Amino acid sequence: MTTPVVSIAYHSGYGHTAVIAEAVREGAAAAGATVHLIKVDEIDEAQWELLDGSDAIVFGSPTYMGTASGAFHQFAQDTSQRWFTDSWKDKLAAGFSNSASKSGDKLHTLQFFATLAAQHGMHWVNLGLKPGWNSTEGSEHDLNRLGFFSGAAAQTNSDEGPEGVHKADIATAEHLGRRVAETARTFIAGRAAAA
């Protein structure tokens, strides 16, 4: 069985989003993937090559002023070299974001990631979870407690450091990592069968 390769291309301004990136990594690794964590504001040529060789790329950024961070936008712009050569065409893609507010316009960040993936001809992997914490029997400890479908969304209070990232959001990010790795394995097997 082929081991899927999943790369997590992310930016973290104050460390909160790095906690989520690590949770995605843990979930993907637990599902048997080889995983690379790549900080987009420190990316080098060897890391670009890791992205090019990946079966799936998971995009991550805090949501600042209604969209991904400036560092992530610079990375997205720099991916145009890959766009010209279709380097990422037919790879899988997914995304995650963190902000201080429960909504905080994280959906816009996830949509930005999905559009970036679509421009590269990638296939988007959604969260695959029903919303949690939306009934009297639910709680803030439910997976997908914030009710996002497009990707993993996290909320951390603005006066807390990375240690304040909610445990349910960490578990939701781990779920996303597993889902991406499992979907990548299915895609790899399907391509092999079709060949």
In percent, the amount of the chain with pLDDT more than 90 equals 98
In 3D, which of 7, 56, 16, 49 has the Cα closest to residue 162?
Answer: 16
The rounded distance, in Å, linking the Cα atoms of 35 and 126 is 19
Is residue 67 pLDDT above 80, yes or no?
Answer: yes
Q: What CA–CA distances, in Å, run from 151 to 14, 48, 78, 144?
A: 21, 23, 23, 9
- Confidence category of residue 77, pLDDT binned at 50, 70, 90: very high
Listed in sequence order, the residues at least 6 apart from 73 whose beta carbon sits closer than 8 Å to its beta carbon are 67
Helix (H, G, I), strand (E, B) or coil at 106: helix
- Confidence category of residue 1, pLDDT binned at 50, 70, 90: low
pLDDT in tens, 90-144: 999 999 999 999 999 999 999 999 999 999 999 999 999 999 999 999 999 999 9
The rounded distance, in Å, linking the Cα atoms of 62 and 115 is 17
Is residue 23 pLDDT above 80, yes or no?
Answer: yes
Q: What is the mean pLDDT of the chain?
A: 97
pLDDT in tens, 144-171: 999 999 999 999 999 999 999 999 999 9
pTM above 0.75, yes or no: yes
pLDDT in tens, 37-47: 999 999 999 99
Is residue 33 pLDDT above 90, yes or no?
Answer: yes
Lowest mean pLDDT among 49-53, 155-159, 163-167, 190-194: 190-194
Helix (H, G, I), strand (E, B) or coil at 100: coil
pLDDT of residue 18: 98
Alpha helices in 31-126 (DSSP H): 45-52, 70-78, 80-84, 106-119
Mean pLDDT, residues 77-98: 98
Is residue 16 pLDDT above 90, yes or no?
Answer: yes
pLDDT of residue 94: 99
